């Protein structure tokens, strides 16, 4: 059986721009994409922590070290600058791969700079006392 697992996430990034008339996608700082192992054109889910919206799109590479998280196209109706989001990539694996899989979790600060990279998807953002974990 094949399983779909989270391969990586960028946790609690701040949306920096939104362009309703851009042709779709989410623009992500190249440094964040590298840290999370997200590839150009890879399918990603966007979970808006601020308003609860969830959507799927694809990643495009933004300027390195710019901190850009840009919501493009129709998604700009749902996600706006200043919103906190979680960007999640998934992969399809067989049972053996899935059993050994460790996801990549990228925690960022309020400027979308990497503060920690780990493999525990339930770990709260370092230095954020308002975060809770289910563990």
Binding-site residue ranges for substrate: 57, 73-75
DSSP code at position 109: -
Residue list, annotated binding site: 57, 73-75
Tell how strand 69-72 and strand 17-19 pair up: parallel
d(CA 27, CA 130) in angstroms, rounded, equals 28
25 is catalytic: yes
The token pair that represents 81 in the structure block: 């600058």
How would you class 22 by CB atoms within 10 Å of its CB: exposed for 0-12, middle for 13-18, buried for 19 or more?
middle
Tell me which of 22, 25, 45, 66 is the catalytic residue: 25
Whether 14 and 83 have beta carbons less than 8 Å apart is answered as: yes
Tell me which of 22, 58, 66, 90 is the catalytic residue: 58
The token pair that represents 37 in the structure block: 């192992």
58 is catalytic: yes
Positions marked catalytic: 25, 58
């Amino acid at each position: 059986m094949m399983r779909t697992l989270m391969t990586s996430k960028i946790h609690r990034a701040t949306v920096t721009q939104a362009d309703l008339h851009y042709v779709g996608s989410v623009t992500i700082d190249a440094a964040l994409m590298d840290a999370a192992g997200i590839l150009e054109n890879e399918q990603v889910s966007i979970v808006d922590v601020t308003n609860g919206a969830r959507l799927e799109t694809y990643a495009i590479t933004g300027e390195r070290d710019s901190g850009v998280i840009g919501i493009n196209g129709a998604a700009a109706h749902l996600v706006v600058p200043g919103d906190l989001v979680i960007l999640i990539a998934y992969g399809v694996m067989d049972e053996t791969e899935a059993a050994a899989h460790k996801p990549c979790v990228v925690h960022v600060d309020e400027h979308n700079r990497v503060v920690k990279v780990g493999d525990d998807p339930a770990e709260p953002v370092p230095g954020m006392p308002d975060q809770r974990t289910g563990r």
